[in-house]
Amino acid sequence: MDLRTPEAPPTAEERFAVDSVLGPPESGWFGGERTPLDGHVALGGLAKARSRRHLLLPALHAVQEQVGWISLAALGYLCERLDLAPAEAYGVASAYALFTFEPAPPVVVHVCDDVACRAACGGDPTEELAARHGPPGSGTTVTWRPSPCLGHCEHGSAALVQKAGAGGGRASLAPFTAGDMDRLVALGPQVELEDLPVPLALVPQAGAEGSQLRLLRRVGRLDPSSLDAYRAAGGYEGLRRALEMGPSGVIAELEEAKLLGRGGAAFPTGAKWAAVARNPVRPHYFVANADESEPGTFKDRVLLDHDPYALLEALTIAGVTTGAEKGFVYLRGEYPVAAARLEHAAAEARNRGLLGSDVMGSGLRFDLEVRRGAGAYIAGEETALFNSLEGRRPEPRNKPPFPVDRGLFEKPTGVNNVETLLSVLEVLAMGAAAYARQGTPDSTGTRLFCLSGCVARPGLYEVPMGTTLGSLLGLAGGVAEGRSLRAVLLGGAAGSFVGPEDMDLPLSFEGVRAAGTTLGSGVVVVLDDTVDMTAFVGRVARFFRDESCGQCVPCRVGTQRQEEVLGRLVAGRPLGSVGDELALLADLDQVLRDASICGLGQTASSVVTSALRRGLLGNGALSGNGRQP
């Protein structure tokens, strides 16, 4: 049945928030004041209203930030404006963790309690907050809530502060302590978000002797707001070369360089761009997937906070090469600094003729929009991302058809993650032959790795493909405090464990494939001998249970059952024997892999299965050691 919104009208604040995105209503038929003319003429029309459905997510953001929550009256007004069924709009909004349908205090602090921060701090980072400020949701002017990974894993603790109303918005704090929460509570609604310190980017190799950084070479060395500084450092020379080479030349260069995607699937970038470029259906789109929500991942945040023009240049190259005139940057909603800097960079590039109707005087058109997600891990899957951009619930689509044939708005679409797009700049700067000499014959170039957990020097590292895991950990100083290494989680929550015996593992696509693991998004979480592996794996299982979109039964039910089994094992209360429970986990793993519609469900049991195979949950550890990581 449909959801019926109340008869009460939206407040002036709610109406203002919606209208700030959609503009004033054209008539009483679409949320405006009724006039005598409305009895005879319907201005605008349903087709126009529905064509703006893609503005649903930005409008929901506007209401959340203005009022602090989304009332049914506000949702009803949005539905009037966009001609949407209330149940459909509610289904979209309820898919995102950063939106709430209950009245909330004006300041809400989302505190990370995910695996990297738990491993770094040696326990649950929210325990002290609960002791000082009550359980989640307590407080009348400031409250706190536990959150999955916020993308500041190198700091070992993090929080996202949301403030509603005038002067509101979002700000990140990393590292974050109970003392920081004390100060936020003392300030209450008077807290000024712009006064909060901007988290630093930890790039330990920067300035180190002998380091030859490519993707990270500008981080911390240039003013990220200055287009002049970026161009003085060689910025936009890649776009100039791409325009001179033409689409076929750029694609040939990418194919010769053998650049593979860095998002986990390792699909050849040149082949993807070629498929979009030759598709006769118009228009084309190109999307930069910056919705890195994999626990332990923070590389996009560092790049976009400190080198935003590089992404805009690379996305422009992708657009003019594939025949796309419109692009989108889909950015994590938890990255407020990146959002502001990308918006500023896009405006500056537009003012200088680097975006718009005549890119760099070439006569080619390309422009872009920055769109923010709102806390949905599944939106990182490319087709779920398209649904999110279109104002639909972020659920994956069946493939085929593939995005290069039918993607965003049912048109041919290219999509790459941030690291892949910035690697395109390096291919054009160095030349395909020189780029291909880096790394291994089948995994060319350099790769970014996010090191966190129990490591001496956490941060973002760049090394040639094929560098061994031991060498990478050596760059980071090894295990913190000289403790013994228990395991390393590669690839994040969708990855798997390797052990101390795997230090010679080459970090290349073919190397990890042969070892039965994955590079994923470049996550490397180091775990020492104090970490309770059962509780660690249980947190991963809870993450997938929470983040499943619910579209397919194997994932929706399977992730729930997996988390329940691990909960019983942690509590020492198995149904039947421990062996029975382990057999049930193995069955769940098979079903999730074989029957889930997308990669989330297909990899939701990877960490659990990996831990079982390596004996990390057995030999007495199933009852826990009393210390949750």
Task: Select from 505, 528, 551 the last residue of a domain.
Answer: 528
Q: Are residues 312 and 428 in the same domain?
A: yes
Structural domain total, the chain: 5
Q: Are residues 509 and 614 in the same domain?
A: no
State the sign of the Cα–Cα–Cα–Cα dihedral 434, 490, 418, 344: negative
Q: Which of 108, 193, 197, 121 is nearest to 155 (CA)?
A: 121
Q: How many CA atoms lie within 13 A of 506 on its CB side?
A: 16
**385, two tokens:** 């991302």
**Looking at residue 88, what is its pLDDT?**
93
Its domain, for residue 469, covers: 446-528
CATH code where residue 391 lies:
3.40.50.11540
Q: Are residues 522 and 578 in the same domain?
A: no
**Looking at residue 1, what is its pLDDT?**
37
Per residue in 15-56, pLDDT (tens digit) is: 999 999 999 987 666 666 666 665 656 665 666 767 899 999
CA distances from 151 to 107, 221, 277, 397, 458 (A): 20, 22, 33, 26, 13
In a domain, 550, yes or no: yes
Q: Are residues 408 and 485 in the same domain?
A: no
Beta strands in 180-282 (DSSP E): none
Peptide bond into 336 cis (omega under 30): no
In a domain, 221, yes or no: no
In a domain, 177, yes or no: yes
Q: Which residues of the chain have pLDDT under 50?
A: 1, 620-621, 623-629
The answer to whether residues 119 and 629 touch, using CB atoms and an 8 Å cutoff, is yes
In a domain, 140, yes or no: yes
In a domain, 389, yes or no: yes
In a domain, 182, yes or no: yes
Other Cβ atoms within 10 Å of 614 Cβ, number:
15
Dist. CA 332–CA 346, nearest whole Å: 17
Residues 6+ apart with CB under 8 A from 341: 224, 225, 304, 305, 308
Strands lying side by side in the sheet with 107-112? 142-147, 107-112, 159-163, 169-173
State the sign of the Cα–Cα–Cα–Cα dihedral 73, 98, 293, 338: positive
- Angle, in degrees to the nearest 10, between helices 418-430 and 299-306: 60
| pTM of the predicted model as reported, rounded to 2 decimal places | 0.94
**Looking at residue 567, what is its pLDDT?**
86
Tell me the three state secondary structure of residue 198.
coil
Dist. CA 503–CA 490, nearest whole Å: 12
Task: Write b or e for each residue in 45-58: b if 16 or more Cβ atoms lie within 10 A of its Cβ, otherwise e.
Answer: eeeebeebbbbbbe
